[in-house]
Chain A
């Protein structure tokens, strides 16, 4: 019996794949820990036997699922892997292979220079195209990524802070407002993206219907580059405000009321109280929240991918969406070796930023010193 594509056979089939995996992993973890402990305590006799035993499953998993792929990614940057050469890199021969070597420095040099420059016969002709149009060059995409990140983080913070300050006052229906305002956070990103895409439809989307009801001109959100960028930034702001409101509200509520009472007696006004008490005391929350938000926003491509697909004329692409397109876009652009090099460069940019920001703000210092 089958209903809506689901039948007993399919259920059993999936369970037959998943259950052995879960059970195998759990048994494997227990066996590993027991064996590891006996080995470390009896044979090696280290005083750190127990912590290393407890860490073993995580270390193995992270090595397998994270360290190994990352090393493999670096190796891929030294390869010429793309759609047409996939058979060469497959352990099973899938077809003819016209490459004489699989990995080499020459590929790496080409992959990394391709990110920045268009080179012919050893001569730099200009900025390289990361997508199809001549406008999609590295500096353009980097500039747009920075605009996207800065715009999002500023609005997330100011709106979230404003709402948190209001919610901290003695006000009725606080619970209801809070429940309603966090809703965007709880909705799956795919649904957010696809739904807003429809709502930005020039004729039937509610955004234009509302604008016209208020006497404005309909905007062709998805066909006009500037409007499309505003649209994706708007949706991402809409998504991110609840996180800030909740984090900041939690922080504000933990500030003892005495501070405010004392400053009120001293005649401080609302702005002074905010600037001299709230902001400094919230620093341990604000700095990590902004750090996380910058990292998340910089790397966030689902909203752009779903709403505009990078368009119109590739004008809403940021670095990570261009990267996704280079690796997994239409068959013609699938160049995994180049994409691997590109991804390393994007990561290094973000890492450099994080290093500078964290050391200057000192915000994450306590994380590993506890």
Chain B
């Protein structure tokens, strides 16, 4: 990316002055060449060339330089996990910073499926996650509509209560839920986890959905309805179809939250009989040993779908979050 940005013709910069700009261009080229020379003299370590290019970019086009630098900080740890998942077993403990490791192999992925119960972990996580997302929507869709459209006694205290639940330390709910789940004999059972997650999913879902309903003009259903009885019809025929984006946002948010959950799962699922992928990968990470490759392979597999989903839907996700939590 550095080189492609560097070839572009210079655009209007915040620091103007023709001579000054030219000076910075020369400086940038000098830094790039310096980096290349250091790379060659140090036995082709491309880090120097990259460093030179980045410094040059910072000098020539500071804004692009900053953005490239921050993008690198954001992305590098991710690339690094991919790189480790491709390392051969005997090369796991390496100080190399290469993205594609020498002797790259998919062995860790194969071992993850054959030596560990990876598919089962993912299956458990998936069913729990989908159940929580569906139940969360089913419970909150109509309630949020009531909060959005009517002024009734108790509305304000209820909304304030929903807001206050966001301040609860996770353990404050987890302690009683753990005791209840243990008393119901639901530990090591996916149902116990579904119940625990639903408790946090519902207030959040109501909040986001209410924010979305608020943006739909009431005229729409008023035009569609004649008397009180048909108000429900208006809700199901007009509002719910219009709210598909919001419903999918809530589904996705609950999905992402439950999919990646770890601390609650660790408490509720204590035996190794039922594990989610987060518990399974945590078992693998123990120390630096051969399992590091398997951990990295598993991370890549559970993260990539979520990452793609997130980037594909990011506009909606973000608008949903701002609607729900900020505009209210």
A-chain residues with CB within 8 Å of residue B180 when the two chains form the complex: 69, 72
Given contacts A72-B179, A191-B303, contact A58 B75 (CB under 8 A): no
Interchain CB contact under 8 A, A14 and B116? no
Contact, CB under 8 Å: B281 / A181: no
Contact B63 A57 (CB under 8 A): no
Minimal beta-carbon separation of B186 from chain A (angstroms): 10
The answer for the CA separation of A4 and B307 in the assembled complex, in Å, is: 24
What residues of chain B lie closer than 8 Å to A288, measured between beta carbons?
Answer: 325-326
Interface centre among B1, B123, B127, B262 (most CB of A within 10 A): B262
Interface status of A226 (Cβ within 8 A of chain B): no
Closest to A196 in B: B77
Residue A179 CB within 8 A of the other chain? yes
The docked-state distance in angstroms from the alpha carbon of A11 to that of B123 is 8
The CA of A180 and the CA of B182, in the complex, are separated in Å by 43
Chain A interface main SS type: helix
* Chain A min CB distance to B114 (Å): 7
The number of residues on chain A lying at the interface, defined by a beta carbon within 8 Å of a beta carbon of chain B, is 115
Check A17 against B191 for contact (C-beta < 8 Å): yes
Interface string of B251-276 (1 = CB under 8 A from A): 00000000110110011000000000
Residues of A within 8 A of B163 (CB): 364, 367-368
Q: A184 at interface (Cβ–Cβ under 8 A)?
A: yes
Give min CB distance, A268 to chain B, whole Å.
15
CB-defined interface of B84-96 with A at 8 Å, one 1/0 digit per residue?
0000000001110
Contact B74 A6 (CB under 8 A): no
Question: In whole angstroms, how far apart are the Cα atoms of A181 and B325 in the complex?
Answer: 22
Contacts of A206 in B (CB 8 A): 76-77, 80, 97
B64 within 8 A of A: yes
- B183 an interface residue at 8 Å Cβ cutoff? yes
Instruction: Using known A-B contacts A25-B135, A91-B183, A173-B5, determine if residue A188 contacts B150 with beta carbons closer than 8 Å.
Output: no
Smallest CB–CB gap between B146 and chain A, Å?
4
Does B102 make an interface contact (CB < 8 A)? no
A4 near B165: Cβ-Cβ < 8 Å = no
B231 touches A (CB below 8 Å): yes
The contact string, 1 if C-beta is below 8 Å from chain A, for chain B 11-34, is: 100000000000000000000000
Q: Within the complex, which residue of B134, B149, B190 is in contact with A14, where a contact is CB–CB below 8 Å?
A: B190
Interface segment, one of A149-157, A259-267, A343-351: A343-351
Q: For the complex, give the distance between the alpha carbons of A72 and B321 in Å.
A: 31
**Interface positions of B from 297 to 328, Cβ below 8 Å from A:** 299, 302-303, 306-307, 310-311, 314, 318-319, 321-322, 325-328
1/0 per residue, CB under 8 A from B, across A306-338: the answer is 100000000000011001100110000000100
B273-308, CB < 8 A from A: 278, 281-282, 285, 288, 292, 295-296, 299, 302-303, 306-307
* A residues at B contact (CB < 8 Å): 3-6, 10-11, 14-15, 17-18, 21-22, 25-26, 29, 33, 48, 50-52, 54-59, 61-62, 65-66, 68-70, 72-73, 76, 81, 86, 89-91, 159, 162-163, 166-167, 169, 171-173, 176-177, 179-191, 194-199, 201, 203-204, 206, 209-210, 213, 238, 242, 246-247, 250, 284-285, 288-289, 292, 295, 299, 301-302, 305-306, 319-320, 323-324, 327-328, 336, 339-340, 343-344, 346-347, 350-351, 354, 364, 366-368, 370
Could you jot down 24 A-B contacts, CB within 8 Å?
A5-B117, A5-B120, A51-B149, A52-B146, A57-B142, A58-B143, A62-B203, A65-B199, A66-B173, A72-B179, A81-B179, A171-B64, A172-B5, A176-B71, A195-B77, A204-B288, A206-B77, A210-B97, A250-B318, A284-B326, A288-B326, A327-B178, A340-B172, A368-B155
12 additional A-B residue pairs with CB within 8 Å, beyond A21-B191, A22-B131, A368-B160: A3-B113, A65-B198, A89-B183, A172-B5, A177-B67, A187-B307, A198-B292, A199-B80, A201-B288, A209-B95, A288-B325, A328-B267
